[in-house]
Structure 1
Amino acid sequence: MKTLKKLPLAIQTFAEIRENPYCYVDKTPLIARLIDAGKAYFLSRPRRFGKSLLVDTLKELFEGNRALFEGLYIHDKWDWSKSYPVIKIDFASGILQSRKQLDERIEIILTENQQRLGVESGNQRADIPGKFTDLILKAREKYGQKVVVLVDEYDKPILDNIDYPERAAEVREGLKNIYSVLKGQDAHLQFIFMTGVSKFSKVSLFSGLNQLKDITLDENYATICGYTQQDLETVFAGHLADVDWAQLKDWYNGYQFLGEPVYNPYDILLFISGNQRYRNYWFETGNPSFLIKLFQQKAYFLPDLEQLEASEEILDSFDVEAIDPVTLLFQAGYLTIEKAYTGFDGQFLFQLKVPNREVRQALNSHFINGYTQTLASEKLKIQHQVFDSLNQGDLVQLQTVLQRLFAGIPWRNFTHNALPESEGYYASVLYAYFASLNATIIPEDTTNRGQVDMTVMLGDFIYVMEIKLDKSTDYQPQDPNPALQQIQDKGYAEKYSGQGKAVFEAGLVFNRTRRNLVQLDYSDYLKRMAR
């Protein structure tokens, strides 16, 4: 029996992977293209997507460590007679909570590079830009070659303080001290590569560093991080010999950067090492609390996540003073590109989607927490009961479950929040629960006679739902139910009559005073039409 290569779990060092029998996906064809095409690049990818390994691969390549690249695409295409001094700046470790801590960390990073390159320190009284400039010039002089600058997690000090805009802005100004040096030292630089999760505007952070080419959404480099389907079927073939490919794709594939879709490497490695159990491996490593809080503050209508359209401007960058939730969702990896197209005015537009089942279920589970403040144990119980109700066509039980759900929400948590005052809040809570169950949801489902609030599909059932918010102080059940009446009058369910599934029309009425579902009436559309 052939021994399988080891999985490179939590290994971000290229040398360690190449010097040991680890699985390795050869990214050097794309690296070769990158270096041939230019000299200064920026790449944004979600966390744990292989960015640090890519940066370390570039370091070993420019330092001329030929033995590590034997058998790889670039081995016989690289000029090994040259080696370059490499300055590596990495903010991955620790959390910096002030400008002072950032400046101290930068000083340490510059000193470490100075010692590794064996260059003497310059003027100790110089400021940070002066010390960085001195390091570049002395490395160029000692090695007789231009300098390579690699920056990993360039934005982490800002993102660590994103909850505190003033502090984040201070840290951003501190980072300018090093990034601004790169423009002035362009003549002494061979190659620049910067990577991180987010993309801040050039105006706010890079201070005129216009030579950076952004390859975040460049189809030529769409797969420079992440695993393709072919990678899994070749490099990891032995580990995935018996896998259900359709289920694996559904759970973990789907990240698209205008090219071939990719898997998050972290998911795949943990999936294999975890005996092929389907879990939220990648999502569990993050903390989207700030993101959820931002959605609450903006009273975001969650069903809009199903049909998002964005321009390049929205996806391109954000600043700490004005953060768009959609931008943050995209850059953090909770949304990805479904397709790109040209709008009516010639503007390049993107249709966005949640990449896969893992993100969809886990993200909406977090939205439930943020929008309802429900205890985890109670949330799981309700999720099971909502699933059973929808999967069995039991709308009587669904009404009981939803009433218990809204009755259990601690409304004191919303005393300074306008969320529950709108119909959209109730639709958002329902959406989050349905989406966390991996149901298919079509919000604002259009027909030739208008649009219904939400169509939900699960198992053998289709639910066409209209939601209304009653503002009376003493609600009395209405006959007919106005929400159900609207569905029937407008014929919203007609488009689903030939699907071979049971179709229910459901009218839900919430009352603002009671803050609960006060009436749910339904009808079986196919039976009603057969009468």
Structure 2
Amino acid sequence: MPIGISDFKTATTSYYYVDKTLLIRDFLDTKPMVSLFTRPRRFGKTLNMDMVRVFFEKTQEDTSIYFKDKQIWQCGSDYTRHQGKYPVIFLTFKDVKCLTWQETFQKLRKLISLEFIRHSELEESTALGIYEKEQYHRLASDNANEVDCQMGLQILSLLLHKHYGQECIIIIDEYDTPIQQGHHCNFYPEIVNFMRNFFSGGLKDNPHLAFGFLTGILRVAKESIFSGMNNLKTNSILDDSYSEYFGFTPEEVKEILHYYEKEDKYQEICSWYDGYRFGNTEIFNPWSVINYITDQCFPKAFWQSTGSNEIIGEIIATSTPEITEGLHKLLCGEKITTYIDTSVIYPEIQNNPYTIYSFLLVAGYLKVAEIYPQNDGNFMCDVAIPNKEIACVYEKEILNRTNQNSVAISINQAIFSGNAKKLQSLLENFMLQSISSMDGANESFYHGMMLGLCAILGNRYQIRSNRESGLGRFDIQLNPLVKGIPGFLFEFKHTNDDHVDLEALADRALQQIDVKKYDTELRDAGVRPIIKIGIAFRGKTAVVKRK
């Protein structure tokens, strides 16, 4: 399996390759001037862009050999006549992850220089004049200033057009990686200004451009990165176009498992790595699938270690109690209905906390369960966590970022053993150390807190919140996924009144479970025994009763 292989020639000649060449057919059917593909990390963007480069690029090598056994070659001469006919500029910014603007610019300048050097045929070109060759040498020598580099695409496309007599194709892979880094490392204005001028020169009203391709996680439209580019066609995870070309479809996964004689692992691979929906296409995480096969089909959270999960960390650090409760509901397997802005930008995490679900969706931390299109071009969506792998990411990040990990384990041991006194002591110690005296204003705060603390039990229980059972709605239910272990029902009460007896309030919570018959659903499912827990909260104090 091609783990970490993003070179198309190598992937197709030395490894198991899932044929995605019909992406080229779909592009040639419409030929937009500039195409932007937004997908989560490790979903095959770089490999697909290198495939596009190898297909279109005019070189001394006969590169048709890499396509004659692929699906694109069966589509006929209307498509194959484009093979090997264009000069191509190819830049990937996937590794531009520097801590300062100065280091970032140096790396961008080096990448631009290397792409000029890759086109060394320009050095001896008889079609170029002296001044044009000076331009080439300045940018190839890695001594260009910032203004020169901002014009890099424009200059190189002009030189290639003159040399070959053919407009060129520009491919920019992971264009927004340095922009995300600028947001995290406080040089966002500098990188946005550079990219705006860089793309404008190469992709907007450029007479030397045949077609342009960009990939990234986000469409950074609101910062005018693509200002005035009415030739840009964006293909997001919510669009049907190209939906099957990034990631693996169910049919492709079944073919892989058949090839490696692991057909019996399909259900396991579905529960761990399926669940994404791009347009109307069901998609598996390709990075995790190939690692799962390579690792003797032992399921792990492979995608988690491929990059930073700082987006989740930043969201948790700035989230409102309502957002925190929403994240905990997601972790418990529930859906959230939210507005999705496909052109969301990084700083909006801090300025507008309700954009977080848009970030999480486009970055691969959520899936779309249902779409409700809006008149402004965006969407209302039901979103949920896609699979077990991403649930592991949430669990780790939420617990680690809130310093709840060891405490959560102890609290869950107390819950599982039904030790009310131990649970009460641990809860009070946790609240003393981690919550503000202003936090416990209402019952919903404690409800969200308890959902988060129960999250670590997610591999043994289906965690449900505020659902109908019997004669009302329970607060939290833990429905065991394995027979023979107890089920749990929680009811919470809250007061700000110092004169209210918390012991009596906890007894009322416990009595409500019986009166409202909240245990109906668990009993109907054959769960025995059922442990009922009533908890009364006031500030940083709690009383726990068990039955």
Tell me if TM exceeds 0.5: yes
1:468 to 456, 479, 493: 493
CA distance in 1, matches of 2:258, 2:491: 48
Aligned residue runs from structure 1 range 239-318, under 5 A = 239-241=260-262, 243-299=264-320, 300-301=324-325, 302-305=327-330, 306-313=334-341, 315-318=342-345
Counterpart code for 2:490: M
Equivalent residue number for residue 359 of structure 1 = 390
Aligned residue runs from structure 1 range 489-508, under 5 A = 489-490=515-516, 492-494=518-520, 498-502=524-528, 505-508=532-535
CA distance in 1, matches of 2:289, 2:83: 37
Counterpart code for 1:230: E
Equivalent residue number for residue 129 of structure 2 = none
Q: CA deviation at 1:66?
A: 0.9
Counterpart code for 1:27: K
- Pick closer, same or farther for the CA change 1:33–1:403 going to 2, 3 Å: same
Q: CA deviation at 1:130?
A: 3.0
Encode CA deviations 1:65-114: one digit per residue, 9 max, x unaligned.
21111210112431156521111121112422333333333322222222
Q: CA deviation at 1:62?
A: 1.0
CA distance in 2, matches of 1:420, 1:318: 32
Equivalent residue number for residue 512 of structure 1 = 539
Encode CA deviations 1:373-424: one digit per residue, 9 max, x unaligned.
444xx655655x368x2xxxx5x23x45644543554855656x96566544
1:63 to 48, 57, 60: 57
Q: CA deviation at 1:115?
A: 1.7
Structure 1 unmatched runs, 5+ = 1-6, 523-531
Secondary structure class of the residue paired with 1:108: helix
Equivalent residue number for residue 444 of structure 1 = 466
Counterpart code for 2:20: K
CA distance in 2, matches of 1:231, 1:23: 12
Counterpart code for 1:46: P
Structure 1, 433-442 or 153-162: larger mean CA deviation: 433-442
Q: CA deviation at 1:355?
A: 0.4
Q: CA deviation at 1:179?
A: 1.7
Structure 1 contact 128–177 (Cα < 8 Å) conserved: no
Counterpart code for 1:441: I
Aligned residue runs from structure 1 range 154-169, under 5 A = 154-164=175-185, 166-169=186-189
Structure 1 contact 372–409 (Cα < 8 Å) conserved: no
Secondary structure class of the residue paired with 1:364: helix
CA distance in 2, matches of 1:430, 1:412: 15
Structure 2 contact 273–389 (Cα < 8 Å) conserved: yes
Aligned residue runs from structure 1 range 113-512, under 5 A = 113-118=115-120, 119=122, 120-122=133-135, 124=138, 127-164=148-185, 166-216=186-236, 217-241=238-262, 243-299=264-320, 300-301=324-325, 302-305=327-330, 306-313=334-341, 315-321=342-348, 322=351, 324-341=355-372, 348-375=379-406, 385=413, 389=416, 396-397=418-419, 399=420, 402-403=423-424, 405-407=426-428, 409=430, 411=432, 423-436=443-456, 437-438=458-459, 439-446=461-468, 451-459=473-481, 460=483, 463-471=488-496, 476-478=502-504, 481-490=507-516, 492-494=518-520, 498-502=524-528, 505-512=532-539
1:23 to 1, 16, 33: 16
RMSD over equivalenced CA pairs, Å: 3.2
CA distance in 1, matches of 2:378, 2:203: 30
CA distance in 1, matches of 2:502, 2:531: 24
- Pick closer, same or farther for the CA change 1:91–1:281 going to 2, 3 Å: same
Secondary structure class of the residue paired with 1:334: coil
Counterpart code for 2:25: A
Secondary structure class of the residue paired with 1:162: helix
CA distance in 2, matches of 1:402, 1:199: 46
Counterpart code for 2:291: L
Counterpart code for 2:30: A
Secondary structure class of the residue paired with 1:478: helix
CA distance in 2, matches of 1:491, 1:346: 45
Structure 1 contact 218–258 (Cα < 8 Å) conserved: yes
Counterpart code for 1:142: H
Q: CA deviation at 1:451?
A: 4.0
Secondary structure class of the residue paired with 2:504: coil
CA distance in 1, matches of 2:376, 2:105: 45
Find out whether 1:105 has 2:107 as its counterpart: yes
Structure 1, 228-237 or 425-434: larger mean CA deviation: 425-434
Counterpart code for 2:302: Y
CA distance in 1, matches of 2:294, 2:411: 31
Alignment: residue pair count: 500
Q: CA deviation at 1:184?
A: 3.0
CA distance in 2, matches of 1:130, 1:372: 47
Encode CA deviations 1:485-504: one digit per residue, 9 max, x unaligned.
44455555556664343465
Structure 2 unmatched runs, 5+ = 123-132, 139-144
Secondary structure class of the residue paired with 1:12: coil
- Pick closer, same or farther for the CA change 1:259–1:405 going to 2, 3 Å: farther
- Pick closer, same or farther for the CA change 1:258–1:141 going to 2, 3 Å: same
CA distance in 2, matches of 1:245, 1:386: 36
Counterpart code for 1:269: I
Counterpart code for 1:61: F
Counterpart code for 1:225: F
Counterpart code for 1:266: W
